[in-house]
Amino acid sequence: MTTTSNSASLLFRACCIALTVTAMTFAIRAGILSQLSADFGLSDGQLGWVNSMAFLGFPVAMMIGGGLYNKFGAKKLLITAFICHLLGLILTITAVNFWGLIISTFFIGFANGAVEAGCNPLITQLYKDNKTTMLNRFHVWFPGGIVIGAIISKLMTDAGLSWQLQIAVMLIPTAVYGFMVFKQQFPQVHQDLSASTMSNIKAMTQPLFIFMLVCMTLTTTTELGTQQWIDRILSASGASPMLIMAMITGVMAVGRYFAGPIIHRFNPVGVLLASAVISTAGIYCLSIATGSAVYFSALLFAVGVTYFWPTMIGFIAEYIPNTGALGLSIMGGAGMFAVSLWNPIIGQWIDGARSAALLKTNNVVDAELLAGQSVLSNLTVFPMILIVAFALLYLSMKKRGFEK
């Protein structure tokens, strides 16, 4: 089947709504961490394990979905995402203990990964001559969905509404994208399944792909490892954590929508290098800021992380296209898997830094502030490593003339 312009547009919209749901799960979960801690009696270390299930389910789905994409196509992967979103959200609402949260969050993470595994290669297939730009426009809806989720979470929390109702809100856009997926026809994928998958695997053995895979673990942790803990890290900073998240992701959404001219002007590698430099400055400023200065620091951080995820995916699609859908899924999966590993560690950093701060001061608010600043200082290391990595990549690619 050939995909008409109108059909491609409808499929793109369905993908964007599915990604919005994915983003809302991140934002609302970040917004209800304090409520979960109180209702279930969880430490930050335990909250880290709950968070990690979303980031673990994501790469599992992406790796499975990437391997099966050539055989099953995007539609079946998105149907799987729809079913797992429904199941995960309902199980979260009805959870009664720590293990209930663990299991339900894994299903949500699996659904989120299935969305990426299906949508990324679908979009590169629909827009073969404009891959990186359209991937950036698709990924507008990750920060866009976080803005929506953050505002919903803040308004509902301020209104005294339960965390269960906040989770239930996400069932609405889930039903919308599920209906669109079932209704639409999808383009066919590569017919020579065995040759295609084997060529994907062979292409992934290239040193450049492996290098980018390692960098992906750092870019994703820089972005999501910081944002997922924003409520706990900035709760005593004198700024509203959920407003900060909404501002960060609002900037990201606008930046990604207008990514085309920037990508074409500076090329993907130049954009990644600049992003690493600005991200480092942003997280460092957050680690020392209080009050209104937190908003400026968060703005700097937002500019830094805006192009990380879609440009990393776009780089693989542009420069190592033979990795195919599997390569795109492995890239995204590696990033999320890294965050799943770091989440419990970040939670333990918060617990440890808080305990150390309480030994120095009897003021709980001051202890929370010092703990948050300490964790942010630790997180600065990730983008600092990326500055070196992307500088080396830039020099190498410039020498080769940035050829595709």
Q: How would you classify residue 240: left for phi > 0, otherwise alpha for psi between -120 and 50, otherwise beta?
A: beta
pLDDT digits (tens, 9 = 90+) for 65-83: 888 888 888 999 999 999 9
Work out the average pLDDT over 301-326: 89
Q: How far is CA 392 from CA 186, 362, 395, 397, in A?
A: 40, 47, 5, 9
Work out the average pLDDT over 185-193: 69
Give the type of residue at 351.
Answer: D
pLDDT digits (tens, 9 = 90+) for 297-309: 999 999 999 999 8
Work out the average pLDDT over 123-134: 82
pLDDT at 244 over 90: no
52-55-60-63 Cα dihedral, nearest 10 degrees? -150
pLDDT at 187 over 80: yes
To the nearest whole percent, how much of the chain has pLDDT over 90?
43
Query: Between 259-288 and 364-379, two packed helices, what is the crossing angle to 10 degrees?
Result: 140
For residue 326, the model assigns a pLDDT of 86
Residue in 264, 209, 248 with CA at minimum distance from that of residue 393: 209
- Alpha-carbon distance 388 to 339, whole Å? 21
pLDDT grade for 58, boundaries at 50, 70 and 90: confident
Lowest mean pLDDT among 23-32, 84-93, 271-280: 23-32
- Pick among 3.30.70.260, 1.10.287.70, 1.20.1250.20, 1.20.120.640: CATH of 9-184+192-399: 1.20.1250.20
Work out the average pLDDT over 223-240: 82
pLDDT grade for 193, boundaries at 50, 70 and 90: very low
For residue 173, the model assigns a pLDDT of 96
Cα-atom radius of gyration of the chain, to the nearest Å? 20
pLDDT grade for 7, boundaries at 50, 70 and 90: confident
For residue 95, the model assigns a pLDDT of 92
pLDDT grade for 242, boundaries at 50, 70 and 90: confident
pLDDT digits (tens, 9 = 90+) for 332-391: 889 988 988 898 898 889 889 989 989 888 788 888 888 889 999 999 999 999 999 999
Please, are residues 19 and 145 in contact by the beta-carbon 8 Å criterion? Answer: yes
Work out the average pLDDT over 230-257: 84
pLDDT at 401 over 90: no
pLDDT at 291 over 80: yes
- Alpha-carbon distance 226 to 248, whole Å? 11
Percentages helix, strand, coil for the chain (3-state, rounded to 5) are 85, 0, 15
- Alpha-carbon distance 331 to 310, whole Å? 11
The residue written with tokens 């995909």 in the block is 3
Other beta carbons less than 10 A from residue 163's beta carbon: 22
Work out the average pLDDT over 105-112: 95
Three-state secondary structure of 231-296: HHHCCCCCCCHHHHHHHHHHHHHHHHHCHHHHHHHHHHHHHHHHHHHHHHHHHHHHHHCCCCHHHH
Burial (CB count within 10 angstroms: exposed 0-12, middle 13-18, buried 19+), residue 111: buried
pLDDT grade for 194, boundaries at 50, 70 and 90: very low
For residue 300, the model assigns a pLDDT of 94
For residue 190, the model assigns a pLDDT of 59
Write the CB contacts of 102 (distance below 8 Å, at least 6 apart in sequence): 49, 50, 53
Work out the average pLDDT over 11-27: 94
Please, are residues 139 and 260 in contact by the beta-carbon 8 Å criterion? Answer: no
Work out the average pLDDT over 28-33: 84
Average pLDDT, the chain: 88
- Alpha-carbon distance 362 to 351, whole Å? 16
In the chain the first and final C-alpha atoms are separated, in Å, by: 28
Q: How far is CA 291 from CA 30, 238, 329, 379, in A?
A: 21, 4, 40, 20
pLDDT at 290 over 60: yes
pLDDT at 132 over 90: no
For residue 137, the model assigns a pLDDT of 87
- Alpha-carbon distance 267 to 261, whole Å? 10
Burial (CB count within 10 angstroms: exposed 0-12, middle 13-18, buried 19+), residue 166: buried
pLDDT at 403 over 60: no
pLDDT digits (tens, 9 = 90+) for 84-107: 999 999 999 999 899 999 999 999
For residue 259, the model assigns a pLDDT of 78
Task: Give SS3 for 208.
Answer: helix
Other beta carbons less than 10 A from residue 178's beta carbon: 21
For residue 1, the model assigns a pLDDT of 44
Task: Give SS3 for 381.
Answer: helix
Residues written for the chain: 404
Domain ranges of the chain: 9-184+192-399
To the nearest whole percent, how much of the chain has pLDDT over 70?
97
